[in-house]
Amino acid sequence: DTAVSQTPKYLVTQMGNDKSIKCEQNLGHDTMYWYKQDSKKFLKIMFSYNNKELIINETVPNRFSPKSPDKAHLNLHINSLELGDSAVYFCASSPYPTQRTEAFFGQGTRLTVV
């Protein structure tokens, strides 16, 4: 059973389109995250949700909007896609954060904007 699953794995789309990436975790975790990984493998946190409530919203364009219908799901919607949005997007989850808590990652969604 996949602990953190994202769909789709690959997404190719044209500039200006709107797209969504879905994420689900079956670990019973309270906290979920979206990360962006650029071509140099640098990881940047975008959003963090705890029990469906937004707790971190880093400086990302407001074209990116997370939606958490329940604590097992955290979807990422992106409006008006730009070339610079091309990256790998990772969903992750963790138990209610403590200093000993690690995050569990999905397989990633490789977004290519053409």
Residues that bind another protein (CB under 8 A): 4, 40-43, 45, 48, 56, 90, 92, 97-108
In whole angstroms, how close is the CB of 89 to another protein at the nearest point?
Answer: 11
Taking the least distance from each CB to another protein, the nearer of 14 and 28 is 28
Taking the least distance from each CB to another protein, the nearer of 15 and 55 is 55
Closest C-alpha among 74, 70, 29, 22 to residue 48: 74
Taking the least distance from each CB to another protein, the nearer of 4 and 21 is 4
Query: Whole-angstrom Cα distance, residue 45 to residue 56?
Result: 9
Query: Whole-angstrom Cα distance, residue 77 to residue 75?
Result: 7
